[in-house]
Structure 1
């Protein structure tokens, strides 16, 4: 699902870090070695058809690499 984030991501929390991440080997292979964390937060997103809604987002993040594999987990 294609979307873009409108505004800021709020209520950011770390769900898992380091060896607690199931996809750690894949992240290191694809994006590089880093201090990986899985995070979640709430943001307003705009879909391709122009509709906007609030959603809970999940993503992986590492210092120097940034956010990768952003996905909508739940509509609010």
Structure 2
């Protein structure tokens, strides 16, 4: 599903890190070693049909590597 984040992500929270992340081998292979964390937050998103919705979004990030 295509969406675009409109505005800021609020209430960011880390809920998994290190070996607690199931996707850790894939992240390390694709982006390199790092202190990987899985995070979530609330954001306003624009869907492919143009409608705006509030949504909980999830992403991975590592210090020195960035967000994915």
- SS of the counterpart of 2:34? coil
Q: What's the TM-score once normalised by structure 2's chain length?
A: 0.94
Identify the residue that residue 46 of structure 2 maps to in structure 1. Answer: 46
Identify the residue that residue 11 of structure 2 maps to in structure 1. Answer: 11
Q: What's the TM-score once normalised by structure 1's chain length?
A: 0.85
- Runs of 4+ in structure 1 displaced over 2 angstroms? none
Choose between structure 1 and 2 for higher RCO, CA contacts under 8 A separated by at least 6 residues: 2
Q: Measure, in 2, the Cα distance between the counterparts of 1:46 and 1:27.
A: 27
Number of aligned residue pairs: 68
* Structure 2 stretches lacking a partner, 5+ long: none
Q: Measure, in 1, the Cα distance between the counterparts of 2:50 and 2:64.
A: 32
Q: Measure, in 2, the Cα distance between the counterparts of 1:63 and 1:48.
A: 31
